[in-house]
Amino acid sequence: MKFRCERDVLDRALSVASRAAATRGALLQVLGGIHLQLEGDCLSVTGSDRNLTVRVTCQVGGQEDGVAVLPAKLAADIAHALDSGQVEMDVGDDEANLSSGRSNFSLRTLVPDEFPRFEIPAGDEVTLSAPGVADALDQVVGAASGDDSRPILTGVLLAAEEDGLRFVATDSYRLAMRDLPGTSILSRDQTVLVPSRALEVVGRLLGDVDDLTICLGEREAIFTVGDVQVVTSLIVGEYPNYRGLIPDDHPNSLIVERDDMLDALRRVRLLATDNTPVRLEMSSDGLQLVAITQDIGQASEAVDANYDGDDLTVAFNPTYLIAGLEVCPDEELRLETCDALKPAVIRGVEDSDFLYLLMPVRVS
């Protein structure tokens, strides 16, 4: 295999595809590699750990067709480090040579026959507006669990609603939910559970495009964004009854400017070390944020807010609270509470399509 291309073309293809390569603990060494296939002037670059596959297709100056598998991280790092300009890659039986300007690199290749085949799942394709999906993923994916011992919670639920599509994620401490009205990719009452890792990759691709194409198979889903295809296995299992986690009524309501609360919270959390919660003291006077860490000190700050309800102090994990505030789509938000032990809900005052639920922390 032999071809020439601009450094930026190779850099992007390798960096995007390598997001799917296995990083550690892979049974096959080749899963830590990145697969290159050249046919004419079309170069396909693929990374896969079997559950997630990312393929990038790009145009290069092809000179000799062929197939090769390179160590993913090392190849991506090399391409990124090269100076701008033309790069030439020449692959022999067990070695790949990359050259650009005065730089020359030689890499041992992996066995391409052991690399997983790229297969597109069967199913109907649906094209969605990329900006809306990008916002939904940004707001929801971060709430999914990173604990592989509970695989159900590592996924994002896509559910058909009467007027559109719903995204839901939870790690059992918090829950994020976003509706996309007028968007339909599922049949009535249908749900699918997509790994959050795959949707994180998709979300990072949506910044500069208008459309996203989704194809849902029985066990796999494929997301096509321009010249990139992301194929992922779906998670099988029963998702928690998230509707039952959302209280029907909240007697207490706090309305506050999002940025004012975020700025104050970031300052106060400086004293919230070792997972110390931040207390929200709510009353007719407004909002007081307090962090107390034994043997270190404490911090407090008043925030202008309108509060309707009984005086209440409730504590939250500051990291989770900040994460919810950061993705709330409105400049003004509403924090709804029942008491110090029941879940609180954050919503935008104007935007009703997003909801963030957070479990409080018990404090003495």
- Does residue 290 register a pLDDT over 70? yes
Tell me how crowded residue 308 is: count the other CB atoms within 10 A of its CB: 11
pLDDT at 256: 97
Residue 206: phi and psi, rounded to 5, are -90, 0
Q: Residues 116-163: pLDDT tens digits? A: 888 777 777 889 999 999 999 999 999 999 998 899 999 999 998 878
HSE at residue 289, side-chain half, CA atoms within 13 A, is 28
**Phi/psi-derived region of residue 116, left when phi > 0, alpha when psi is between -120 and 50, beta in every other case:** beta
pLDDT at 27: 64
Question: Which residue type is seen at 99?
Answer: S
User: Going from the N-terminus, what domains does the chain have, and what CATH number goes with each?
Assistant: 2-114 (3.10.150.10), 125-244 (3.10.150.10), 247-358 (3.10.150.10)
Confidence category of residue 25, pLDDT binned at 50, 70, 90:
low
Selection from 109-123, 263-277, 313-327 with the highest mean pLDDT: 313-327
- Strand 95-100 vs strand 86-91: parallel, antiparallel, or unpaired? antiparallel
- Does residue 191 register a pLDDT over 70? yes
pLDDT at 222: 94
Confidence category of residue 23, pLDDT binned at 50, 70, 90:
confident
CA 72 to CA 197: how far, in whole Å?
18
Question: Which residue type is seen at 349?
Answer: V
H/E element, 262 = helix 258-268
Mean pLDDT of the chain, nearest integer: 93
Q: Residues 195-205: pLDDT tens digits? A: 999 999 999 99
This prediction's pTM: 0.91
**Phi/psi-derived region of residue 288, left when phi > 0, alpha when psi is between -120 and 50, beta in every other case:** beta
Q: Is 111 helix (H, G, I), strand (E, B) or coil?
A: coil
Q: Which of 191, 201, 194 is nearest to 232 (CA)?
A: 194
Contact predicate 298/246, CB 8 Å: no
- Does residue 26 register a pLDDT over 70? no
- Does residue 188 register a pLDDT over 90? no
Q: Which residues of 123-142 are buried (b: 16+ CB within 10 A; e: fewer)?
A: eeeeebebebbbbbbbbbbb
User: What is the token pair recorded at 343?
Assistant: 């879940």
Confidence category of residue 216, pLDDT binned at 50, 70, 90:
confident
Percent of the chain with pLDDT over 90: 78
**326-345 average pLDDT score:** 94
Percent of the chain with pLDDT over 70: 99
Q: What percentage of the chain's residues is helix, strand, coil (to nearest 5)?
A: 25, 45, 30
